[in-house]
């Protein structure tokens, strides 16, 4: 393999790894927002999921127990948000921001003793037969860990459910017009609870991927704004899981390029801003796209549903 | 309503973060009734960081077990801008006799505190300012980095050697240059590629930087950052069948990369703290500038205590023969051991920063036969000629 091919291959390997937590987070947030609930607490759920996963993996010695713990903690935090916004009809922005602070706080406190502790049992890559022999892509896509494969499969399933099944229609209708859905006998609060908790589960999974695979250690603040990028990516994806793939991997690539480009004389200080500049650019692009394609956010996004009204 | 909520949440968040940092623990020798020395340690990181703070903490624990007259207190996770308050507290409320400020960024606060409390003793780690009652101390690693450079230069097959670096400050630059000088001595055609993190502890950044170096053809990695991320990257590539050689930094990290770690540098602060505290106890303390190296055993070569070179790579290095200007035909292993012995005798026997050393522009920085002096090493702001990459303009 010559140098250029190797470089491209390695960039792709890292791009997919760096994009996976973003993909998982975005898939979850799409479901939450599709049902009409904005959840700005992704950063907090991700951080809490990350520390739960790391702590559990360290104590039990099994990274898979860690993943389960991350999912449970993410889901529980989302349950709080669902309770506040669906049952109590609280302001979704405030509740989401509170969730972020809560999650970051819990993770900092809980994770204190795990700072700097290396992970002993890791989730190792699994080489898929035949497929991994494809030049470049074989190593980049088919020689990754099971969580990565899982995230891709989940993405496809999530897209299928949302666009090809009756469940998907129900979720979308609840997000667009909960009154109409309600009059057809759909339980709006149930759908919203399920979708918000799904969002939390995915954010928890994203956190587990960060602490168990991508970084394989815990450090306070390691989500590094990824939760906010996920919210931007949800807008960028126009609430469609298919486009979430594109957004997540493009942003994954940006994280990787930060260090590749240092060798070409670009100031490292400038490069550290890249993901955030790209976030702004992605949001602008999304606005333009949604106008062109006449796609708008779910109509009742952020609006509490009051049955008696 | 929303504003009010935000306010309450904000305050709650602040309280939370204040409560979360700055945990204190006092360890006392209860049974001792004579005159006691109370030492306060201010740490910049968490004691579990597996790097800088961890190394200081180990020495603190060893010494309280050793001396019944010693009483200590430590405060961890103290941001560099917040140290004045902590020093005041350690002096006034905890009644410490000596305070160890263990981060470069505490320098000005420590100097000011020295003026404010003239009857207390302060030791500042890694700084260069002193007062009547403020001394400095530092365990210096560049000689070990040079030895690692010898091995890295010999082992690399691509002639590209990567270096993941924390902050562009003289200490880090000095280590990179010492490493590069070692590389050049055994392999003049190899280059050292540097990537900056702008962080002392960030496994995510370190991992990505190490991956990018490998992607750009490096097969050997050294680093100066406090996590084991670079080692793990080396080990995972080696596991996948692509051998990457790595060099551990500061703490014994070989167990995280048994097939990748060749050697490294280990620090041991115990000797210094022992010396300082004994002087304080006996009333002999002076505000000296302690700069301990291999000779004083503040530093050792290796990725694991008691193992200077990973046993796995010893035969490889013994079979690599090179021609050296001082020793003629010699194996890399013997060269490393000979240089180690020389430096253990003292920097006057051998020092890596012996001329001629040129910088990236080809300007001679150290003339033939000269050695870099203390001031040059402590203010270094140029890269040796075989280092690739620009030095960022701003410092820490």
User: Tokens for A307?
Assistant: 């049955």
CA–CA min distance B10, chain A (Å)? 9
Least Cα separation, residue B44 to chain A (angstroms): 14
Return the bridge partners of B222, or none: B163
The phi and psi torsions of B259 (rounded to 5 degrees) equal -100, 0
Q: What is the CA radius of gyration of chain B?
A: 22
Angstrom distance (rounded) from CA A247 to CA A15: 12
Which residue among B54, B201, B240 places its CB closest to the CB of A219? B201
What ranges make up the beta strands (E) of chain B? Answer: 24-27, 37-42, 70-75, 98-101, 121-125, 134-139, 160-165, 191-196, 220-224, 245-250, 261-267, 289-292, 299-301, 321-324, 328-331, 357-358, 364-366, 387-388
Tell me, rounded to whole angstroms, the distance of Cα B81 from its chain centroid: 21
- For A169-191, what is the mean pLDDT? 94
Whose CA is closest to B264, among B290, B296, B219, B225?
B225
Give B-chain residues touching A13 at CB under 8 angstroms.
Answer: 211
Average pLDDT over residues B143-154: 97
Query: Nearest-CA distance from B102 to chain A in Å?
Result: 18
Q: How far apart are CA B136 and CA B292, in angstroms?
A: 11
CATH number of B288's domain: 3.40.50.2300
Spell out which residues of chain B touch residue A114, defining contact as CB-CB under 8 Å: 48
A88 touches chain B (CB under 8 A): no
B4 in a structural domain = no
Indicate whether B236 and B352 sit together in one domain: yes
Distance CA B14, CA B70 (A): 35
Q: Across the interface, do B198 and A272 touch by the CB < 8 Å criterion? A: yes
Beta bridge partners of B136: B124, B289
B255 and B276 in a common domain? no
What chain A residue is nearest to B229 in terms of C-alpha separation? A215
- Interchain pair A6, B215: CB under 8 A: yes
Distance from the Cα of A174 to chain B's closest Cα (Å) equals 26
Please check whether residue B310 lies inside any domain of the structure: no
Contact: A116, B51; criterion CB under 8 Å: yes
Predicted-complex ipTM score: 0.86
Model confidence pLDDT, tens digit, residues A86-143: 999 999 999 999 999 999 999 999 988 887 788 888 888 888 888 888 888 888 889 8
CB atoms within 10 A of CB A179: 13
Neighbours of B114 (CB within 10 A): 23
B10: confidence class by pLDDT, cuts 50, 70, 90:
low
Residues of B whose CB is below 8 A from A18: 208
pLDDT of residue B17: 47
Residue B71: inside a domain, yes or no? Answer: yes
- Contact across the interface for B215 and A260, Cβ inside 8 Å: yes
Q: Which residue of B has its CA nearest to A11?
A: B215
Q: Specify the higher pLDDT residue, B145 or B1.
A: B145
Please determine, for residue B102, whether its predicted confidence score (pLDDT) is greater than 50.
Answer: yes
Dihedral angle of Cα A43, A44, A47, A52, to the nearest 10 degrees: -150
Mean pLDDT of chain A: 92
Q: Which residue of B has its CA nearest to A260?
A: B212
pLDDT: which is higher, A151 or A269: A151
**Residue B394 domain-assigned (yes or no):** no
SS3 B194: strand
Name the residue range of residue B175's domain. 142-265+320-388
- The verdict on residue B303 lying in a domain is no
pLDDT at B366 over 50: yes
Same-domain status, B88 and B159: no
What percentage of chain B exceeds 70 in pLDDT? 91
Q: Find out whether B48 and A115 touch, Cβ atoms under 8 Å.
A: yes
**Residue B3, pLDDT score:** 54
> Rounded to the nearest 5 degrees, what angle is found at the Cα of B174, between the Cα atoms of B168 and B176?
75
Domains (range + CATH), chain A: 3-293 (1.10.3470)
A positions 254-283 inside 8 Å of B (CB): 255-256, 258-260, 262-263, 265, 267-269, 272
A24 interfaces chain B, CB cutoff of 8 Å = no
Do residues B219 and B347 both lie within one domain? Answer: yes
B51, closest residue in chain A (CA to CA): A116
pLDDT of residue A137: 85
B250 and B362 share one domain: yes
Query: Is B9 contained in some domain?
Result: no
- Claim to verify: residue B243 and residue B379 sit in the same structural domain: yes
Residues of A in contact with B201 (CB under 8 A): 116, 219
What is the mean predicted confidence (pLDDT) over A52-77?
Answer: 96
The predicted pLDDT at position B51 comes to 80
Q: Do A7 and B216 touch (CB under 8 A)?
A: yes
User: Contact A97/B9, CB-based, under 8 Å?
Assistant: yes
What pLDDT is recorded for position B92? 94
- On whether the CB atoms of residues A301 and A250 are closer than 8 A, the answer is no
pLDDT band at B350 (very low <50, low <70, confident <90, very high): very high
Report the C-alpha gap between B24 and B133 in whole angstroms: 25
Q: Which residue of B has its CA nearest to A119?
A: B256
pLDDT mean across residues, chain B: 89
* Residue B216 with chain A: CB contacts under 8 Å: 7, 260, 263
SS3 A149: helix
Q: How far B198 CA lies from chain A's nearest CA (Å)? A: 8
pLDDT given at position B395: 43
Judged against a pLDDT cut of 70, whether residue A72 lies above it is answered with yes
B167 & B274 share domain = no
Residues B234 and B278 grouped into a single domain: no
Return phi, psi of residue A124, to 5°. -90, 155
Cβ contact A215–B5 (<8 Å): no
Q: Is B146 exposed, middle or buried (0-12, 13-18, 19+ CB in 10 A)?
A: buried
The shortest C-alpha distance from B287 to chain A (Å) reads 34
Question: So what's the pLDDT on residue B300?
Answer: 94
**pLDDT confidence of residue B21:** 46
Q: Read off the pLDDT of each residue in B236-246 and give the average, rounded to a whole number.
A: 93
Rounded to a whole number of angstroms, the distance from the CA of A91 to the nearest CA of chain B is 8
Quick: pLDDT tens for B191-209.
999 999 988 888 889 999 9
What pLDDT is recorded for position B20?
Answer: 44
User: What mean pLDDT comes out for the span A43-61?
Assistant: 96
What distance in Å separates the CA atoms of residue A18 and residue A148, rounded to the nearest whole number?
10
Same domain, B112 and B177: no
CB within 8 Å: A125 and B240: yes
Answer yes or no: do B119 and B180 share one domain. Answer: no
The reply to whether B346 falls in a domain is yes
- pLDDT class of B183 with cuts at 50, 70, 90: very high
Q: Indicate which of A117, A216, A254 best probes the interface with B, i.e. most B CBs within 10 Å of its own CB.
A: A216
Helix ranges, B33-192 (H): 52-66, 83-92, 107-116, 142-155, 170-186
Question: Which pairing describes strands B357-358 and B364-366: parallel, antiparallel, or unpaired?
Answer: antiparallel
* Closest-CA residue of chain B to A210: B204
Distance of alpha carbon A222 from alpha carbon B203, whole angstroms: 9
In this complex, the residue of B48, B204, B212 whose CB is nearest that of residue A224 is B204
With 90 as the cut, is the pLDDT of residue A306 above it?
A: no
Q: Rounded to the nearest 10 degrees, how much is the dihedral formed by the CA atoms of B251, B256, B260, B266?
A: 10
Q: Is B337 left (phi over 0), alpha (psi -120 to 50) or beta?
A: alpha
B175 in a domain, yes or no?
yes
Quote the pLDDT of residue B23: 46
Express each pLDDT in A201-235 by its tens digit.
999 999 999 999 998 888 888 898 999 999 999 99
Interface test with B, best of A215, A229, A252, A253 (most B CBs within 10 A): A215
B199 vs B206: CA distance, rounded Å: 9
| Stronger pLDDT, B12 or A60, i.e. the higher one | A60
Residue B2: predicted pLDDT: 53
pLDDT of residue B30: 53
pLDDT value, residue B284:
92
pLDDT category of residue B5 using cuts at 50, 70 and 90:
low
Q: How confident is the model at residue B22 (pLDDT cuts 50, 70, 90)?
A: very low
| Chain A residue with Cα closest to B52 | A116
B18 pLDDT exceeds 50? no
Number of domains present in the structure of chain B = 2
Note whether B118 and B167 are same-domain residues: no
Residue with tokens 């020092």: B351
Same domain, yes or no, for B339 and B375? yes
Which residue of B49, B196, B394 is in closest CB contact with A116?
B49
| Residue B292 phi, psi (nearest 5) | -100, 140
Count A/B contacts: CB-CB distance under 8 Å.
119
């Amino acid at each position: 393999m010559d140098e250029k091919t190797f470089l491209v291959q390695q960039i792709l390997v890292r791009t997919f790894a760096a994009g996976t937590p973003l993909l998982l987070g975005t898939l979850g947030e799409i479901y939450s927002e599709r049902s009409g609930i904005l959840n700005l607490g992704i950063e907090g759920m991700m951080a809490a999921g990350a520390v739960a996963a790391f702590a559990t993996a360290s104590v039990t010695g099994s990274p898979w127990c860690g993943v389960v713990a991350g999912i449970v903690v993410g889901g529980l935090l989302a349950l709080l948000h669902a309770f506040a916004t669906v049952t109590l009809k609280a302001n979704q922005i405030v509740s989401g921001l509170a969730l972020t602070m809560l999650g970051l706080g819990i993770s900092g406190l809980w994770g204190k003793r795990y700072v700097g502790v290396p992970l002993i049992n890791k989730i190792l890559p699994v080489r898929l037969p035949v497929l991994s022999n494809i030049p470049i892509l074989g190593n980049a896509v088919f020689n990754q860990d099971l969580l990565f494969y899982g995230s891709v499969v989940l993405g496809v399933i999530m897209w299928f459910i949302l666009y090809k099944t009756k469940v998907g229609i129900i979720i979308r209708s609840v997000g667009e017009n909960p009154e109409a859905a309600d009059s057809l006998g759909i339980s709006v609060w149930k759908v919203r609870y399920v979708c918000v908790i799904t969002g939390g589960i995915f954010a928890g999974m994203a956190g587990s991927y960060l602490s168990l695979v991508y970084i394989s250690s815990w450090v306070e603040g390691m989500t590094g704004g990824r939760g906010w990028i996920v919210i931007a990516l949800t807008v960028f994806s126009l609430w469609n899981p298919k486009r979430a793939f594109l957004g997540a991997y493009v942003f994954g690539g940006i994280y990787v390029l930060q260090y590749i480009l240092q060798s070409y004389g670009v100031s490292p200080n400038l490069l550290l801003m890249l993901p955030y500049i790209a976030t702004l650019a992605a949001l602008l692009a999304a606005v333009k796209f949604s106008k062109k394609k006449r796609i708008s956010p779910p109509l009742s996004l952020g609006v509490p549903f009051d049955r008696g009204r | 309503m929303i504003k009010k909520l935000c306010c309450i949440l904000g305050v709650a968040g602040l309280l939370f973060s204040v409560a979360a940092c700055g945990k204190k623990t006092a360890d006392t020798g209860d049974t001792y009734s004579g005159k006691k020395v109370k030492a306060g340690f201010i740490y910049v990181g968490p004691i579990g960081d597996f790097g800088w703070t961890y190394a200081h903490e180990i020495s603190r624990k060893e010494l309280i077990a050793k001396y019944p007259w010693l009483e200590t207190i430590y405060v961890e996770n103290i941001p560099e801008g917040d140290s004045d308050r902590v020093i005041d507290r350690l002096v006034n409320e905890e009644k410490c006799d000596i305070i160890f400020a263990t981060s470069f960024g505490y320098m000005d606060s420590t100097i000011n505190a020295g003026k404010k409390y003239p009857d207390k003793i302060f030791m500042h780690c890694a700084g260069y300012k002193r007062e009547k009652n403020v001394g400095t101390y530092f365990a210096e690693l560049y000689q070990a980095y040079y030895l690692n450079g010898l091995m890295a230069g010999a082992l690399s097959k691509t002639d590209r050697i990567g270096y993941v670096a924390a902050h562009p400050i003289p200490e880090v630059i000095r280590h990179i240059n010492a490493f590069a000088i070692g590389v050049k001595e055994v392999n003049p055609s190899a280059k050292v590629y540097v990537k900056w993190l702008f962080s002392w502890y960030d496994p995510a950044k370190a991992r990505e930087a190490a991956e990018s170096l490998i992607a750009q053809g490096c097969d050997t990695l050294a680093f100066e950052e406090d996590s084991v991320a670079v080692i793990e990257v080396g080990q995972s590539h080696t596991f996948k069948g692509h051998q990457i050689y790595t060099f551990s930094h500061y703490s014994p990290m070989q167990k995280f990369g048994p097939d990748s770690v060749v050697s490294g540098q280990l620090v041991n602060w115990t000797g210094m703290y022992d010396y300082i505290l004994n002087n304080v106890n006996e009333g002999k303390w002076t505000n000296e500038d302690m700069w301990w190296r291999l000779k004083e055993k503040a530093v050792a070569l290796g990725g694991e205590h008691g193992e200077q070179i990973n046993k796995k790579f010893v035969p490889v290095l013994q079979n690599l023969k090179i021609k050296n200007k001082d020793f003629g035909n010699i194996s890399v292993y013997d060269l490393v051991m000979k240089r180690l012995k020389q430096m253990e005798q003292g920097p006057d026997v051998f020092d890596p920063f012996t001329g001629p050393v040129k910088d990236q522009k080809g300007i001679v920085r150290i003339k033939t036969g000269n050695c870099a002096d203390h001031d040059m090493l402590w203010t270094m702001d140029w890269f040796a000629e075989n280092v690739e990459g620009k030095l960022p303009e701003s410092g820490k």
